[in-house]
Amino acid sequence: MSTSKPAGRVILTYARSLMALVIARSLAERGVEVIACDDVGLTVCSFSRHVQETFTVAPWDREPEKFLEDLEAAVLEYAPTDGAPYVLMPVFREIDLIARNRSRFEPTIKVAAPAIRSIERVTPKHRLAELAREAGLDVPETWRPHSLEALRELAPKLPYPVIVKPVDGAGGRGVSCVKTPAELETDALALGFDAPPLIQECIDGEDYCVCVLAKDGELAAIMAYRNLSTFPREAGAGAVRETVDEEPFRAEAEKLVAATKWNGVAQLDFRWSGKPGDAPNLIEVNARFWAGIFHSVESGVDFPWLLYLQTIGAEAEADEPEIGATTKTSGAWLLAAIEDVAASDPHFNAASEAWHEAKARIKSGDLLAAIEKAGKAVGKSLNVGEALSTLRHEVRALKDAPSELSSSNDPLVGLGALFVLSSLVRHGKLPPEVTYKPEQPTKPEPDMTPPARKRPIIGITKPEDGDTLAYLAMKLAVWLAGGDAVKLTARAPRDPRSVDGLIFGGGADVYPKRYLGQPKPGYRYDLARGDMEASWALAARRHNLPVLGVCRGAQMLNVLAGGTLHADLSGFKTERPSNLIWRFFHRLPIRVRPSSKLAKITRCPARMRVNAIHLQAIRRLGAGLTVSAREPNGVVQAIEDASLPFWIGVQFHPEFLIYRAPFRRLFRALVKTAHARAEERRAEQRLRQEAALADDSENAEELSKAAVR
């Protein structure tokens, strides 16, 4: 593969997915800046060190036009100003919508997706059968009855067992293998006939996933893997994967990409007996990245990087895959191992009811309930000792196999499961990943309500490296308050017009020479961050943005207003613990000025208890600032500028106290003020545009009169 590392920026969709996480790692490790989006917050990408920023968009399936508008706005906002490569890389099923509307994004950003005419040759899934007849592809016989009556007429003639699947689904959800007409009718009715399900001949052999990258209808990269185990066992998604030789599938893959003039990545699902004389049968084509993209990358074929290079017009050569490489899917592999043990236990019939319920849970995506039911199933076995011994062997065998979440240098991505909570708050329901229902096309009803306002953007200053826990806690606090957080660092400045409010975060000491103090020998001050925050403070004043300073941030607000700091608090009588960890949990009583904004916002007119992590504090107040809270020993704990809508600094860390209402109110007040300011700025922008149009109209009228004269 090419070793050149062109700088650039990529926007990824479907940030909740492990697929997006794998793609982000692949690109970021080669110097590409990654930004990710989704219609929910708290995604796996928002907690990854490989993703610079995340933003939210409308749901692509329920609000396609709003999704496109949100994505268009983000593309313009994040566009590089230095001419660096800029790529929009759809990750999942939104690729059809983006490809169909490619002209709305290009040439500002290059879209890494096949042409929509290519995608429509294979999507929805029933179109593959039509393509197969034209291109001479080997596919299973396929039926698509459009009504229950047609199904009942067809059912007695089918060669059971057959596969029933939704016409548009992913991850094995909704797919089943049926052995009788009665089972067929039950499963087909569950999918419904608004989008008639597919029924396919069940081909003897194993399932193989063939992953390809094509350029102008020719293969540029190919690798293949099989699932050593799936969950559920029948027609489930891969839990443990193994790389196999791709050569048996190459000819069919070449015919497919040539017939569709494919330009991008795709996953081809095959069924094959493994016998040299038998032809593999193409089951379906997914016109996008695949759930096993992590396995592909681990095997040595880095499709995200290859696709990026191809999209920006750079040369790239794919490496050969490592045959026999094995990976596991986080969580699912353990459930698959449990089910394998269950299937081999002759006494397991006693647990059948609990086990069937566990499988039903996992099919609907309810992983936690599935684990609970699986545990009950194992517990009901009459041969528990033997079952657990077998299970231990399975676990040991795969203990060292890599998975998407096993990267030691990205330790917080597991928090991405919180996107379920985000979906509940943002959309009032669970996301489709955990509540599978077959896709049913419905006629969109006109939405007569005014368009929803965007959540205000709150910029949080932080050092280039470190302070990750505080930043993530701050980000969560902002999100719970109704805003979306973006980080501001010295190396990643933003346009002040792109944020609606600011938080000056905590961190290292403020450089003493900013307030005529003396630097500590050997102490490493963050001078670049100080300059960046000074610039942001001026911008906040100029744009009338609300600002919250936290710990060092409060001290910075004071210093930038001409105030000074106590560089050492040893002269003050205090009872706080000397150990840093204990200071996180210590609660210090402070006195709040009743008439202050802090008192009104937190509804604590006299006292509150806060944490005390700081080792410095405000000494002389800066111009325009007043004290709103002090410790009993006189140390300043909060300051504010009463002349501004929201300009508050607190010496404590409210992001670690959001389990208490007063501190949640502080973040809500910041976000509410930011939202109001964002609306004002939009109104001001509309007025400027209307004035400009009026001026243009007057100028045109004058020119017309002059032409007549």
At the topology level of CATH, where does 206-328 sit? D-amino Acid Aminotransferase; Chain A, domain 1 (3.30.470)
- pLDDT top residue among 423 and 223: 223
Distance spanning both ends of the chain, measured CA to CA:
69
What mean pLDDT comes out for the span 349-366?
A: 46
- pLDDT top residue among 414 and 560: 560
Residue 170: name the closest of 75, 257, 291 by CA: 291
Phi, psi for residue 32 in degrees, rounded to 5: -85, 135
The edge-to-edge listing of strands for the beta sheet with 86-89 is 53-56, 32-38, 8-12, 86-89, 110-111
Q: DSSP alpha helices (H): ranges in 120-225?
A: 127-135, 148-154, 181-191
3-class state of residue 461 by DSSP: strand
> How far apart (Å, rounded) are the C-alpha atoms in residues 493 and 461?
10
* pLDDT (0 to 100) of residue 215: 96
Phi, psi for residue 187 in degrees, rounded to 5: -70, -35
3-class state of residue 9 by DSSP: strand
Six token digits for residue 267: 């996953």
> How far apart (Å, rounded) are the C-alpha atoms in residues 238 and 97?
27
230 and 215 Cβ atoms separated by less than 8 Å: no
Indicate the residue type of 676: A
- pLDDT top residue among 450 and 542: 542
The predicted-structure confidence for 173-184, as pLDDT tens digits, reads as follows 678 889 999 999
Six token digits for residue 11: 């926007």
With a cut of 70, say whether residue 172 has pLDDT above it. no
In the chain, % of residues over pLDDT 90 = 47
* pLDDT (0 to 100) of residue 5: 44
* pLDDT (0 to 100) of residue 263: 97
Q: Supply the DSSP symbol for 489.
A: B
The predicted-structure confidence for 266-325, as pLDDT tens digits, reads as follows 999 999 998 888 999 998 899 999 988 999 999 999 999 999 999 999 988 899 999 999
Q: Supply the DSSP symbol for 400.
A: T
* pLDDT (0 to 100) of residue 613: 82
- CATH number for region 141-201: 3.30.1490.20
Indicate the residue type of 644: L
What mean pLDDT comes out for the span 344-348?
A: 41
* pLDDT (0 to 100) of residue 54: 84
6 and 314 Cβ atoms separated by less than 8 Å: yes
* pLDDT (0 to 100) of residue 580: 61
Q: How many CB atoms lie within 10 A of CB 382?
A: 13
Rg (CA), the chain: 30
Residue 289: name the closest of 483, 94, 445 by CA: 94
At the topology level of CATH, where does 457-677 sit? Rossmann fold (3.40.50)
**Among the listed ranges 229-238, 378-387, 513-522, 526-535, which one has the minimum average pLDDT value?**
378-387
Residue for token pair 């596969």: 163
* pLDDT (0 to 100) of residue 202: 86
Secondary structure (DSSP) of 299-363: TT--HHHHHHHHHHT----PPPP-TT-EEE-TTHHHHHHHHHHHHH-TTGGGGHHHHHHHHHHHH
* pLDDT (0 to 100) of residue 425: 53
Q: Where in the chain is the domain with CATH 3.40.50.880?
A: 457-677
3-class state of residue 11 by DSSP: strand
The edge-to-edge listing of strands for the beta sheet with 501-504 is 484-488, 457-461, 501-504, 547-550, 647-650, 636-640, 626-630, 588-592, 607-610
Proportion of the chain in helix, strand, coil states, percent, rounded to 5 = 40, 20, 40
In the chain, % of residues over pLDDT 70 = 75
Residue 541, H or E segment: helix 527-543
> Where does residue 431 fall: left (phi above 0), alpha (psi -120 to 50 degrees), or beta otherwise?
beta
* pLDDT (0 to 100) of residue 366: 45
> Where does residue 245 fall: left (phi above 0), alpha (psi -120 to 50 degrees), or beta otherwise?
beta
The predicted-structure confidence for 127-139, as pLDDT tens digits, reads as follows 888 898 888 998 8
With a cut of 90, say whether residue 647 has pLDDT above it. yes
> How far apart (Å, rounded) are the C-alpha atoms in residues 68 and 59?
10
> How far apart (Å, rounded) are the C-alpha atoms in residues 231 and 338?
10
Helices 552-560 and 527-543 cross at an angle (nearest 10°) of 70
Q: Structure pTM? A: 0.59
* pLDDT (0 to 100) of residue 439: 43
Q: Where in the chain is the domain with CATH 3.30.1490.20?
A: 141-201
Q: What mean pLDDT, rounded, does the chain reach?
A: 81
Six token digits for residue 700: 């045109």
Residue 649: name the closest of 621, 668, 672, 677 by CA: 621
* pLDDT (0 to 100) of residue 399: 54
> How far apart (Å, rounded) are the C-alpha atoms in residues 7 and 57?
26
The predicted-structure confidence for 358-369, as pLDDT tens digits, reads as follows 545 544 444 444
Residue 593, H or E segment: none
Q: Where in the chain is the domain with CATH 3.30.470.20?
A: 206-328
> How far apart (Å, rounded) are the C-alpha atoms in residues 292 and 153?
38
195 and 218 Cβ atoms separated by less than 8 Å: no
* pLDDT (0 to 100) of residue 683: 84
Six token digits for residue 688: 């400027």
* pLDDT (0 to 100) of residue 391: 43
Indicate the residue type of 132: A
The predicted-structure confidence for 420-460, as pLDDT tens digits, reads as follows 455 555 555 555 654 444 444 444 444 433 334 468 999 99
Long-range contacts of 433-438 (CB under 8 A, 24+ apart): 433/16, 433/171, 433/365, 434/364, 434/365, 434/366, 434/367, 435/364, 435/365, 436/169, 436/173, 436/174, 436/363, 436/364, 436/365, 438/166, 438/168, 438/169, 438/174, 438/190, 438/191, 438/192, 438/195, 438/197
172 and 228 Cβ atoms separated by less than 8 Å: no
* pLDDT (0 to 100) of residue 165: 85
The predicted-structure confidence for 62-71, as pLDDT tens digits, reads as follows 999 999 999 9
Handedness of CA 581, 584, 588, 593 (dihedral sign): positive
Q: How confident is the model at residue 667 (pLDDT cuts 50, 70, 90)?
A: very high
With a cut of 60, say whether residue 338 has pLDDT above it. no
Q: What is the largest CA-CA distance in the chain?
A: 104
CATH architecture of structural domain 8-113+412-434: 3-Layer(aba) Sandwich (3.40)
Indicate the residue type of 258: A
Six token digits for residue 588: 């210090």
Q: How many CB atoms lie within 10 A of CB 528?
A: 13
What mean pLDDT comes out for the span 332-342?
A: 44
